Amino acid sequence: MKMSASHTSWTTKFLAVVTYEILWNIRKKKFLGMFIVAFAFATLSLAGSYIASAITGQPVQQNPDFVISSNVGLGGFVFFLFAMVTVMNTISAEFESGTIVPLLAKPVSRTTVFFGKLFASFLTLLATYFFLLIYMAIGGFVAYGPQNNLHLVPLSLLGAVFSTLIWISIVLLLGALSKSSLMAALGALGIWLGTTIIGSILGALLGLGWFLTYIPGPGTSGYVGEPPPLGMGTVVSTGTDSIGPNLINYILHPSWEVTYYKLNLGGMTPGQVLWERLYSEPFSALILKSVAVAITYFVVFVGISWFVFRRAQITE
Amino acid sequence: MELAIETTGLTKRYGSLTAVDKLDLKVERNTIHGFLGPNGAGKTTTIKILVGLLKPDGGKVTVLGQDLGWDKPEVRLRVGYMPELPKLPKHLKGTELLDIYGRMCGMTKEERKKQIPELLDVVGLRERENDLVGKYSKGMQQRLGMAQALLNEPELVILDEPSIGLDPVGMVEVRETMKGISREGVTVFLSSHLLHEVQQVCTHVTILNKGVALASGTLKEISAKISGPVTIEAEVEKISEAVVKKVKELPFVTAASADGKKLLVELDTRDDVRSEVSQAITAGGGIVVSMNLKGESLEDVFMGLLAKRKEGRS
């Protein structure tokens, strides 16, 4: 009657953990709520020009680059929120609810459990963003006419997933260290606020924007061309949140040169310079740095989380 | 003697508190071994070490002949574990939970298809198999906890307080299940604070207090370790000197005395000799109204051991 261990393959166990986690993810009320919020953001992004048109009375222009420049219709804060609702419970809630006890007592290694859960989060995000992207592509076609470069849209999808994975690794790390969903959420929110708002202000005013390139989030902004009001340069963000659009732009404009400026508050008065030029770099260097930063943070944070999870003793 | 569980000098500390103190535990295969002790005795800590949830601070642990080590799924493949008041993921349906756990145990689709409905029948959850676990009552979650412990047809089943939260019928069913799987050759290691439960189902017992094993062996062996005689207290109508004399003549009786309608008989055996004593009372002209054996129950043994330990410390 005893079962043989011969057919207990690693893949079977890994996929069992993935199923366990995906079912948990998609049945979470807050995830469903987030899904609806993301669709609302995407819809707002689609309707933006029409709303502006209603206010200003200007007709809506056809925009063949709408889809390719939309970043799945999402921004950094939505990436952060998706990361939070997807993984804030992945490790910590298992400890809090006690479900970790029967799970880790099963004949599955902790490494399999950990990476199964992480892979499930990746798949959940991929599927969610895929739906959003299809929605944006169809919506963009309907709202702004035929779209250019649709073959580059998968890069936007991968970029969005990758950007979210950085935040996932942060939330996962905080959850594994604190074993508390609340601490994971608050800690991640603190980091997001720090990098996004405080970091941006300090970076722009003190001319220290370069350091934002090396931390997760929106990064700093540079211009291809001159910043307004001097010119109509294109704004480029260096951070991990913009990997998708940056990759697409690099394919479309490989020779771009990005210039960074410091905001000079004294420039508000006549005769002073509003933007003080700091330095320039090729667009390829910007992308290389943001991808390297993203990979480094992801590997380090996930590595620490895995190490902590493997050694965790279940006292609950 | 083949052992299912063997610990040598097992020690676990939480800061300055020693939860398990150099515990030597031997659980023979094909037995139902009770693990008794008051709250905080170290039972659950020991069990969590056995299933790989806690890392011991000292000592050696062997489960089914394999060194336990840390995070060794191959050992857990042969062990079923039901935690105390199992917390099962509420987002899964009963049958989904067993299916996913079954896959984690490496069961094939055919094995799962055959075994999961059978197990749900055994624990009485077949009609609720498609409900989310979150909608189950505590008792139902307890039953599902039992089912998941038996899922991979383990050689050793570790049950931590399996009767908590169950109604009387559920308790009886759990005990019958334990006896049933034991008959199939599965070793059952049962942690319980219900002494009568242990007495009803267990062949062997280890008594733990403050992380230390006070006694271990068969029920009779443990009883024999307790000093103090086993006594019979009988209520007798028409009690007389003749009745007392007849009882004293029995070879295993060391003393007998009458106090009103009460007859107190001290024995030098731990066998159940109530029928012989009853016959002697009748032969002496008395009529037995009631008769109780004292000092033989596990509760008496347990309390005796704890008392001895307290005396030893004072």
* Of residues A226, A209, A223, A232, the one with CA closest to residue A256: A223
Q: Is A268 on the interface with B (CB under 8 A)?
A: no
**CB pairs < 8 Å spanning A and B:** 105
> pLDDT of chain B along its 314 residues, tens only?
799 999 999 999 999 999 999 999 999 999 999 999 888 899 999 999 999 999 999 999 999 999 988 888 888 999 999 999 899 999 999 999 999 999 999 999 999 999 999 999 988 899 999 999 999 988 899 999 999 999 989 999 999 999 887 888 888 888 888 898 999 999 999 998 887 788 888 999 999 988 999 889 987 777 666 545 678 889 999 989 999 999 999 998 988 999 888 999 988 776 778 889 999 999 999 999 998 877 656 666 677 777 766 666 55
The answer to whether A2 faces chain B, any CB pair under 8 Å, is yes
* Superfamily classification of domain B3-219: P-loop containing nucleotide triphosphate hydrolases (3.40.50.300)
The pLDDT, as a whole number, for residue A209 is 72
Read off the pLDDT of residues A169-215 as tens digits, 9 standing for 90 and up: 999 999 889 888 888 889 988 988 888 877 777 776 777 777 788 88
Identify which has the larger pLDDT, B11 or A84. Answer: B11
Cα–Cα dist A275/A225, whole Å = 13
Query: Does the beta-carbon distance from B81 to A105 stay under 8 Å?
Result: yes
Output the pLDDT for position A2.
46
Reduce the secondary structure of chain A to three states and give it as a string.
Answer: CCCCCCCCCHHHHHHHHHHHHHHHHHHCHHHHHHHHHHHHHHHHHHHHHHHHHHHHCCCCCCCCCCCCCCHHHCCHHHHHHHHHHHHCCCCHHHHHHCCHHHHHCCCCCHHHHHHHHHHHHHHHHHHHHHHHHHHHHHHHHHHHCCCCCHHHHHHHHHHHHHHHHHHHHHHHHHHHHHCCHHHHHHHHHHHHHHHHHHHHHHHHHHCCHHHHHHCCCCCCEEEECCCCCCCCCEEEECCHHHHHHHHHHHHHCCCCEEEEEEECHHHHCCCCCCEEEEEEEEHHHHHHHHHHHHHHHHHHHHHHHHHHHHHCCCCC
What pLDDT score was predicted for residue A218? 81
**Average pLDDT across chain A, whole number:** 84
Q: Cα separation of B194 and B104, whole Å?
A: 32
Cβ–Cβ below 8 Å for A108 and B96: no
Q: Is A310 on the interface with B (CB under 8 A)?
A: yes
Give yes or no for residue A230 having a pLDDT over 80. no
Spatial CB neighbours of A239, under 8 Å, sequence gap ≥ 6: A76, A212, A213, A216, A217, A218, A219, A220, A290
Asked: is B229-294 a CATH 3.30.70.100 domain? The reply is yes
Are B103 and A13 a contacting pair at CB < 8 A?
Answer: yes
For residue B29, give Cα distances in angstroms to B2, B52, B204.
6, 20, 11
Contact state of B101 with A102 under an 8 Å Cβ cutoff: yes
User: Where is average pLDDT lowest: A98-102, A218-222, A291-295, B82-86?
Assistant: A218-222
pLDDT at site B312:
62
So what's the pLDDT on residue A3? 45
Nearest to A24 among B86, B91, B111 (CB): B91
Contacts of A112 in chain B (CB under 8 A): 73
Tell me the pLDDT band of A5, cut-offs 50, 70 and 90.
Answer: very low
Measure CB to CB from residue B108 to each of A5, A7, A104 and give the nearest one: A7
Residue A272: pLDDT over 70: no
Q: Write down how long chain B is.
A: 314
Chain A residues touching residue B81 (CB < 8 angstroms): 102, 105
Question: Where are chain B's structural domains?
Answer: 3-219, 229-294
Contacts of B144 in chain A (CB under 8 A): none
Q: What is the pLDDT of residues A92-118, one digit of tens each?
A: 889 989 999 999 999 999 999 999 999
Q: Residue window 157-216, chain B: list those with CB within 8 Å of chain A.
A: 184
Inter-chain CB proximity B106 and A20 less than 8 Å? no
Going by pLDDT thresholds of 50, 70 and 90, the confidence category of residue A61 is confident
Q: Which residues of B touch A23 (CB under 8 A)?
A: 91-92, 96
CB contact under 8 A, B53 and A98: no
Residue B91 to chain A, least CA–CA distance (Å) = 6
Query: Given pLDDT bands bounded at 50, 70 and 90, which one contains residue A267?
Result: low
Distance, in Å, from the CA atom of B222 to the CA atom of B299, rounded to the nearest integer, reads 12
Query: In whole angstroms, what is the distance from residue A114 CA to residue A108 CA?
Result: 10
Task: Tell me whether A26 touches chain B (CB under 8 Å).
Answer: no
Tell me, yes or no, if B103 comes closer than 8 A to chain A by beta carbon: yes
Pairing between β-strand B187-192 and β-strand B212-218 as defined by DSSP bridges? unpaired
B-interface mutation test, from A6, A28, A101, most B Cβ less than 10 A away: A101
- How much is the pLDDT for A6? 44
Q: Which of B89, B106, B148 sits opposite A13 (nearest CB)?
A: B106
Residues of B in contact with A7 (CB under 8 A): 106, 108
Q: Which residue in chain A is spatially nearest to B97 when comparing CA positions?
A: A20
Domain definitions of chain A by residue range? 10-188+200-311
CB-CB under 8 Å, B87 with A97: yes
> Is A8's Cβ below 8 Å from some Cβ in B?
yes
What is the model's pLDDT at position A257?
92
The percentage of residues in chain A with a pLDDT greater than 90, rounded to a whole number, is 24
Nearest residue, CB atoms, A106 vs list B74, B91, B105: B105
Higher-pLDDT residue of A160, A256:
A256
Whether residue A115 lies within 8 A of chain B, CB to CB, comes out as: no
The closest CB to that of B77, out of A8, A9, A24, belongs to A8
By C-alpha distance, which of A182, A216, A181 is closest to A80? Answer: A216
pLDDT band at residue A4 using 50, 70 and 90 as cut-offs: very low
